[in-house]
Amino acid sequence: MNTADLFAPHAPSAPPELRSLELRAQISHHDSLYYEQAKPEISDQEYDALYRKLGDLERAHPELITTDSPTQKVGGRPQGAFAQVRHLVPMQSLDNTYSAKEIAEFVERLQRLLPGEEIPMTIEPKVDGVAIALLYERGHLVRAATRGDGTAGDEVTRNIRTIGVIPAKLHGKMAPDLLEVRGEVYLPKETFARINAERDEQGLPTFANPRNAAAGTLKQLDPNIVAERKLSAVFYGFGAFEPATGDVLPESMEKFFGLLNGWGLPVNPRHWTACDAAEVMAAIRELGEIRRGFSFETDGAVIKADLISQHSRLGSTSKAPRWAIAYKYEPEQAKTRLLGITVQVGRSGVLTPVAELEPVFVAGSTISRATLHNEEEIARKDLRIGDWVMVEKAGDVIPAVVKVLTEEREGSEKVFLMPTQCPVCNAPVTRTDGEVAVRCTNPGCAAQAMKRIEYFASRSSMDIAGLGEAVVSQLVDVGLLHDVSGLYSLSADQLIQLERMGSKSVENLLAAVAASKDQPLWRLLAGLGIPHVGVTVARTLAASFGTIDRLEVASVEELCAVEEIGEIMATAIHGWFRNPAVLSLLEKLRAAGLNFGERDPKGNAPAADGPFKGTTWVITGILSIPREEAADLIRSNGGKVSGSVSAKTTYLLAGEEAGSKLEKAQKLGVKILTEEDFQKLIV
Ligand code: IVH
């Protein structure tokens, strides 16, 4: 190494320690110029580039991350690990039971402890998520904490505030003076399936189940990531509870659930009441029948004495209350044989090994295939072709191989090796450092093209009827189609050659392809395969930027300013538009006459007529209603909603704890409305 390199901290050859030190110092310097002196010396793009370099470096060398690194800051404040908070009342656990006999013993014990009394009971789903305690003071959410060791947990208020179903302010008039409400944060099963599919596609490690995914998400230091993951919650109990003056504690759990509901806190979708062990078991069995239909995972039922006055008299052991117990359902697993491992190639070229199983019935349906995610996962489980394995449905939906029954091996089982060539196009495969995924290196790979075209044509994207897997694979196989732009130059003569294509289907398909040129911008954005961009984000982007051209030139910062777009997403979108292959595809689509937003046919949130017509709004801070609801109200009254404050902003709707946007609006003289002002305007 020559000395010049040593003194050029940005040079890739400089030691990473030196580079990260230098980058941190530079970013701090520019932060100070920007935030404290309002005299930035570099553009947002240049700032973003510095920030990204540091982020990349830290990802490659996690040991270099310091607690005061700008990448660890949330909203400008340094964040180390989470602060610890003491629960006002310890968060206990529950004893478990596994049989009708043990349930009968539980009911007998209650009767023995409260002789001669009626002991009504409630039965409800046991939500398999992450336990959480929220503290509401006079109806306002002031703190949220995980269970931790039961006495003290992590303070995760900022993350909890991103969860749409959790009200920042309790609804209704009779909010208690103080309420420490307890429940479970969970990742809905459908969201879990989507996130894992995306992570597989991006070569990131997948979550084993929705509970792990929820726990990992709540631990994120960046609330934007939490917001993207769309967590949900259910509440079922309380710690400290001081009713409003003149009000009293509810007399039963049943009444408490009613109160929670009235305050806008989500409760379990079903609960049962029972007076004896037989009724409890009947409820447990009924719950067992329907539990797979809930959006959360349940591994059991919770049985509680319904009358709250009986709780204190029943008391608790050091670990769990005596007035409640959990009943655990048998985990549904099945034994089957791993017949083979096939390899699929995804839209972005990731090779995914798939278990081909002897079909077996488990948790309501037959499983014959299960993703094995990647090579490391196969090695970790020591899976060999021919093995007997146990399978289950992760999150009740995704078939998964949980373990190998090694004791049943006969010696003829074969170790699986990931191919070194793409099984479809034979191009060599590569593995990027730090990624578990192996990718096909050929951007023209037919398998990738096929998947991308199918996705583009699918119902949730461009919705081109008649362009399913069978047609797409034939078109790609015979070389008529290489990418989505090719769809727009297909002719009737070419299509009629395909198997099972009559002149009527050809006519319909061509009409559907032509009609898709006028689809609204969000559908095009959803279909292009931009990383992290599904239907919801595509709608948000279309509504915020209006045209592809505007989106293409948006900086990472401008993207981040949009509601629901965090830094990871913003960086990925920005990067996607800087790929020459993408730009050339977009040009071909433009030449084919697709709507890039200019035609705005069925509306990228067109301004309706209404009292807000011609006004542009920005929403910030915490409102009592979800932000999206406020945005819809503005749009349905004719206004536009934007993500960032500028001279063009007419109103800033500022909720509680509004920060930099409020400051900027004040500086620019933008009219600021409280939620109360806003509510008056819309009635
Ligand atoms: S009541 C004193 N109800 O399961 C504890 N807990 O394994 C009273 N859980 O610690 C808890 N669903 O985190 C209750 N419907 C439900 C529940 C539930 C899930 C969790 C909770 C508890 C753990 C015990």
Return the bridge partners of 321, or none. 316
Q: pLDDT, tens digit, for every residue of 262-284?
A: 999 999 999 999 999 999 999 99
Phi and psi of 24, rounded to 5°?
Answer: -60, -45
96 Cα nearest atom in ligand 1: 7
Contact 329, 302 (CB under 8 A): no
93 Cα nearest atom in ligand 1: 10
Q: Coil, helix or strand for 260?
A: helix
Ligand 1 contacts CB of residue 661 (under 6 A): no
Ligand 1 contacts CB of residue 393 (under 6 A): no
- Structure confidence at residue 44 (pLDDT): 59
Q: Report the separation in Å between the CA atom of 126 and the middle of ligand 1, taken as the mean of its atom positions.
A: 6
Ligand 1 contacts CB of residue 179 (under 6 A): no
Contacts of 101 (CB under 8 A, 6+ apart): none
Q: Report the separation in Å between the CA atom of 628 and the middle of ligand 1, taken as the mean of its atom positions.
A: 31
Mean pLDDT, the chain, integer = 87
- Structure confidence at residue 627 (pLDDT): 72
- For residues 221 and 278, the model is more confident at 278
Ligand 1 contacts CB of residue 126 (under 6 A): yes
CB-CB neighbours of 664 under 10 Å: 17
Q: Report the separation in Å between the CA atom of 511 and the middle of ligand 1, taken as the mean of its atom positions.
A: 56
- Structure confidence at residue 606 (pLDDT): 46
Let me know if domain 446-516 sits in CATH 3.40.50.410. Answer: no
Q: pLDDT, tens digit, for every residue of 406-417?
A: 999 999 999 999
- Taking the alpha carbons at both ends of the chain, their separation in whole angstroms is 71
State the DSSP string of 152-196.
Answer: EEEB-HHHHTT-TTS-SB--SS---SEEEEEEEEE--HHHHHHHH
Q: What is the CA radius of gyration of the chain?
A: 28
Minimum CA distance residue for ligand 1 atom 15: 126
Superfamily of segment(s) 521-591: 5' to 3' exonuclease, C-terminal subdomain (1.10.150.20)
Contact 673, 639 (CB under 8 A): no
Q: Report the separation in Å between the CA atom of 163 and the middle of ligand 1, taken as the mean of its atom positions.
A: 20
* 329/288 Cα distance (integer angstroms): 8
CA distances from 40 to 43, 251, 391 (A): 8, 60, 57
The single-letter code of the amino acid at 386 is G
Which range of 313-317, 674-678, 679-683 scores highest in mean pLDDT? It is: 313-317
Is pLDDT of 510 > 90? yes
Residue whose CB lies within 8 A of the most ligand 1 atoms, among 89, 93, 94, for a mutation test: 94
If one looks up domain 3-72 in CATH, what number appears? 1.10.287.610
State the DSSP string of 494-518.
Answer: HHHTSTT--HHHHHHHHHHHHHHTT
The CATH number of 334-420, from 3.30.390.30, 3.30.930.10, 2.40.50.140, 3.10.310.30, is: 2.40.50.140
94 Cα nearest atom in ligand 1: 24
Q: Report the separation in Å between the CA atom of 132 and the middle of ligand 1, taken as the mean of its atom positions.
A: 10
* 590/575 Cα distance (integer angstroms): 20
- Structure-token pair, residue 632: 């819809």
- Which residues in 106-133 are b (16+ Cβ under 10 Å) and which e? bbeebeebbeeeebbbbbbbbbbbbbbb
Q: Coil, helix or strand for 575?
A: helix
Phi-psi region of 600 (alpha: psi -120 to 50; beta: other; left: phi over 0): left
- For residues 433 and 598, the model is more confident at 598
620: pLDDT confidence band, cut at 50, 70 and 90? Answer: confident
600: pLDDT confidence band, cut at 50, 70 and 90? Answer: low
320 Cα nearest atom in ligand 1: 2
* 246/174 Cα distance (integer angstroms): 10
- Structure confidence at residue 74 (pLDDT): 38
Q: pLDDT, tens digit, for every residue of 390-443?
A: 999 877 778 999 999 999 999 999 999 999 999 999 999 998 777 788 999 998
- Structure confidence at residue 631 (pLDDT): 78
Residue whose CB lies within 8 A of the most ligand 1 atoms, among 127, 241, 329, for a mutation test: 127
Q: Report the separation in Å between the CA atom of 397 and the middle of ligand 1, taken as the mean of its atom positions.
A: 23
Phi-psi region of 570 (alpha: psi -120 to 50; beta: other; left: phi over 0): alpha
If one looks up domain 84-328 in CATH, what number appears? 3.30.470.30
Contact 586, 548 (CB under 8 A): yes
Ligand 1 contacts CB of residue 184 (under 6 A): yes
316 Cα nearest atom in ligand 1: 2
Boundaries of every domain in the chain: 3-72, 84-328, 334-420, 446-516, 521-591, 616-682
- For residues 675 and 323, the model is more confident at 323
Question: Catalytic residue among 126, 230, 640, 661, which?
Answer: 126
Ligand 1 contacts CB of residue 128 (under 6 A): no
- For residues 389 and 83, the model is more confident at 389
Q: Report the separation in Å between the CA atom of 270 and the middle of ligand 1, taken as the mean of its atom positions.
A: 15
Minimum CA distance residue for ligand 1 atom 13: 131
Minimum CA distance residue for ligand 1 atom 23: 93
DSSP β-ladder status, 334-345 and 152-154: unpaired
What is the signed CA dihedral for 661, 667, 669, 674, rounded to 10 degrees? 40
Return the bridge partners of 272, or none. 123
State the DSSP string of 600-665.
Answer: --S-SSPPPSSTTTT-EEEEESB-SS-HHHHHHHHHHTT-EEESS--TT--EEEE-BT--HHHHHH
The single-letter code of the amino acid at 111 is Q
8: pLDDT confidence band, cut at 50, 70 and 90? Answer: very low
Q: Report the separation in Å between the CA atom of 156 and the middle of ligand 1, taken as the mean of its atom positions.
A: 19
Q: Report the separation in Å between the CA atom of 130 and the middle of ligand 1, taken as the mean of its atom positions.
A: 10
* 445/349 Cα distance (integer angstroms): 8
Ligand 1 contacts CB of residue 506 (under 6 A): no
- For residues 603 and 461, the model is more confident at 461
Q: Which helix (H) or strand (E) holds 202?
A: helix 189-202
Ligand 1 contacts CB of residue 131 (under 6 A): yes
CA distances from 214 to 70, 158, 166, 626, 640 (A): 25, 15, 15, 20, 33
Task: Say which range, 92-96, 138-142, 568-572, 601-605, has the weakest mean pLDDT.
Answer: 601-605
The CATH number of 616-682, from 3.40.50.10320, 3.40.50.10190, 3.40.50.1100, 3.40.50.300, is: 3.40.50.10190
The single-letter code of the amino acid at 110 is L
The single-letter code of the amino acid at 238 is F
Q: Are the folds of 446-516 and 521-591 the same?
A: yes
Ligand 1 contacts CB of residue 235 (under 6 A): no
- Structure confidence at residue 265 (pLDDT): 97
* 211/186 Cα distance (integer angstroms): 7
- Structure confidence at residue 414 (pLDDT): 96
Q: pLDDT, tens digit, for every residue of 645-658?
A: 888 889 999 988 78
Please state the rounded mean pLDDT for residues 9-31.
75
Q: Report the separation in Å between the CA atom of 94 and the middle of ligand 1, taken as the mean of its atom positions.
A: 6
Minimum CA distance residue for ligand 1 atom 10: 93
Contact 267, 124 (CB under 8 A): no
Ligand 1 contacts CB of residue 296 (under 6 A): no
Is pLDDT of 77 > 50? no
Ligand 1 contacts CB of residue 316 (under 6 A): no
Ligand 1 contacts CB of residue 321 (under 6 A): yes
599: pLDDT confidence band, cut at 50, 70 and 90? Answer: confident
268 Cα nearest atom in ligand 1: 15
Ligand 1 contacts CB of residue 124 (under 6 A): yes
Q: pLDDT, tens digit, for every residue of 66-75?
A: 777 777 653 3
Ligand 1 contacts CB of residue 201 (under 6 A): no
Q: pLDDT, tens digit, for every residue of 297-320?
A: 998 999 999 999 999 999 998 789
DSSP β-ladder status, 616-620 and 651-654: parallel
Residue 126 among the catalytic residues: yes
* 14/26 Cα distance (integer angstroms): 16
